[in-house]
């Protein structure tokens, strides 16, 4: 926990900025690679593999997918692999959280995760090692992601009002990396060579590890004083009745978000294909790389996260702030509206190319929806989870993204099999379902999340940690 005599920077512990820049560079590497992934598979690697290029595991994976879904095109196969990869990226944090809680601790887990991801990014430069590279990134993210996020919450004592602002700043770090990565990695990949883009992502991951290592002196040292036996002993203590209430409510909310992530993650999948194939990026004779479109999401987050935070703070002072469940419902409904915009875009564009305003308008609405859901949920996990399983519950939050991304891959495979307007209408319906569920369950979820063993728990303020991220706070 933060120490009273600790020096601060902008009112926050210095350790927050170590975590901020570490996460910024890690997200630079992750989103830089993601910006290129579907295009690389669909437009180059899988086409070459079908011609006989040696890509370890390609034949096995393709035959396995085709045995379930029938013959698949390069685009459909890319969508399945993308969904599987992105899903597993959010599946492994569940186990990485458990290992950190019980054995390794958070700091050691972050080191292991970062090194594995760096290896994975550099392996992307070897075409035959493509799937092995993905496995390294998947495993590394499992150790890195839940344990860097929970360290933010540990910097502040219970009830510290700075926590909301801390998660907002942290979320801004995520999006700062996500903003620059398509501009750097995407441009290198599309204009110079695929492997240059992937290599730049690997360098970003190494930069994050260096910052984490040399900034480690600012992080709380208490974790190093806890033995494995002490951690295991704490883990064996049973949860109280109200801890179980909060845990099950949080788990249920995580499960509902699966549908939202199934829609949201189309940004790196079918929406990127729409940006590349059906959108005109020519500006006064200069052709902008289509991957730059993926920088628009973090850019909007930067602009509007502080505005929303101030609006929610004003509502809170007036006693009119929505509960966490209602905010998440609003986020899902905005996601639905975003895909309705794409439905209209597909009808307008047809088989040609249309203005980028369709895609940017849809992304704007989807991003505002994200701000109503993602940072709120991230902060909620650190607030209401029982202390001894907080990393595991962070893993549960990411586990919902695993299922959501898997669903996004399945649905994305329909992109070249059905009319595009019907495809986007299907996505809109998928985003509408969780909004309805959050709306219906609002009262029950609010009561359960406020269950406390020492009396009524003060209402969480639903605030997005004062702020941000592409994928942190809370009036439950």
Q: Note the pLDDT of residue 228.
A: 54
Among residues 33, 49, 56, the alpha carbon closest in space to that of 128 is found at 56
**What tokens does 432 get?**
């509408």
Half-sphere exposure of 407 (CA within 13 A, CB side): 20
Angstrom CA distances, 191 to 36, 137, 183, 184, 300, stand at 12, 24, 11, 11, 25
| pTM of the predicted model as reported, rounded to 2 decimal places | 0.74
Q: What is the pLDDT along the chain (476 residues), one digit of tens a residue?
A: 444 445 665 667 778 888 888 989 999 998 889 889 988 999 899 999 988 888 999 999 999 999 888 888 888 899 889 888 988 887 888 788 788 877 888 888 999 999 999 999 999 988 999 999 999 999 999 898 878 877 877 777 766 767 666 777 777 788 888 899 999 998 999 889 999 999 999 999 999 999 998 887 777 665 544 455 555 566 567 777 788 888 888 889 888 888 898 888 888 888 988 988 888 888 777 788 888 888 998 899 888 877 887 888 788 788 887 888 899 899 999 999 999 999 999 998 888 888 889 999 999 999 999 888 887 787 788 778 887 777 678 778 877 888 888 888 888 888 888 898 999 999 999 889 999 999 998 888 888 877 665 443 344 444 434 333 344 333 33
Q: Note the pLDDT of residue 201.
A: 92
Among residues 39, 34, 50, the alpha carbon closest in space to that of 277 is found at 39
Q: Which CATH number fits domain 11-280+289-449: 2.70.98.10, 3.40.630.40, 2.40.10.340, 1.20.1250.20?
A: 1.20.1250.20
Q: Note the pLDDT of residue 206.
A: 93
């Amino acid at each position: 926990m933060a120490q009273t005599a600790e020096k601060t920077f902008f009112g926050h512990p210095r350790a927050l900025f170590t975590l901020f820049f570490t996460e910024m560079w890690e997200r630079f590497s992750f989103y830089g690679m993601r910006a290129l992934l579907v295009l690389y598979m669909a437009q180059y690697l899988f086409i070459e593999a079908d011609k006989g290029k040696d890509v370890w595991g390609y034949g096995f994976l393709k035959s396995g997918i085709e045995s379930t879904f029938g013959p698949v095109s390069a685009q459909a196969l890319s969508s399945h692999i993308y969904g599987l990869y992105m899903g597993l990226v959010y599946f492994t944090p569940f186990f990485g959280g458990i290992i950190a809680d019980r054995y390794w601790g958070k700091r050691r887990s972050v080191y292991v995760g970062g090194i594995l991801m760096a290896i994975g990014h550099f392996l992307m430069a070897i075409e035959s090692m493509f799937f092995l590279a993905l496995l390294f990134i998947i495993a590394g993210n499992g150790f890195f992601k839940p344990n860097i996020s929970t360290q933010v919450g540990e910097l502040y004592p219970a009830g510290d009002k700075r926590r909301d602002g801390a998660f907002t700043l942290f979320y801004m770090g995520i999006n700062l990396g996500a903003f620059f990565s398509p501009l750097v990695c995407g441009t290198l990949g599309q204009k110079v060579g695929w492997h240059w883009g992937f290599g730049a992502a690997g360098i970003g991951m190494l930069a994050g590890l260096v910052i984490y290592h040399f900034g480690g002196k600012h992080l709380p040292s208490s974790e190093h004083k806890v033995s494995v036996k002490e951690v295991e002993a704490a883990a064996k203590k049973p949860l109280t009745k109200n801890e179980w209430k909060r845990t099950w409510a949080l788990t249920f909310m995580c499960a509902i978000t699966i549908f939202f992530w199934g829609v949201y993650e189309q940004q790196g999948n079918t929406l990127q294909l729409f940006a590349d194939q059906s959108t005109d990026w020519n500006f006064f004779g200069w052709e902008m790389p289509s991957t730059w479109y993926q920088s628009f999401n973090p850019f909007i987050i930067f602009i509007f996260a502080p505005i929303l935070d101030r609006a929610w703070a004003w509502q809170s002072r007036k006693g009119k702030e929505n509960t966490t469940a209602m905010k998440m419902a609003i986020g899902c409904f905005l996601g639905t509206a975003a895909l309705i915009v794409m439905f209209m875009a597909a009808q307008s564009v047809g088989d040609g190319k249309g203005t980028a305003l369709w895609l940017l308008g849809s992304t704007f609405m989807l991003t505002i929806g994200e701000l109503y859901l993602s940072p709120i949920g991230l902060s909620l996990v650190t607030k209401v989870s029982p202390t001894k399983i907080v990393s595991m519950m962070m893993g549960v939050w990411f586990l919902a993204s695993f299922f959501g991304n898997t669903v996004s891959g399945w649905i994305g495979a329909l992109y070249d099999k059905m009319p595009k307007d019907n495809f986007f209408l299907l996505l809109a319906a998928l985003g509408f379902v969780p909004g309805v569920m959050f709306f219906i369950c609002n009262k029950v979820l609010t009561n359960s999340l406020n269950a406390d063993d020492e009396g009524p728990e003060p209402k969480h303020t639903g605030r997005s940690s004062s702020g941000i991220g592409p994928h942190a706070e809370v009036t439950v």
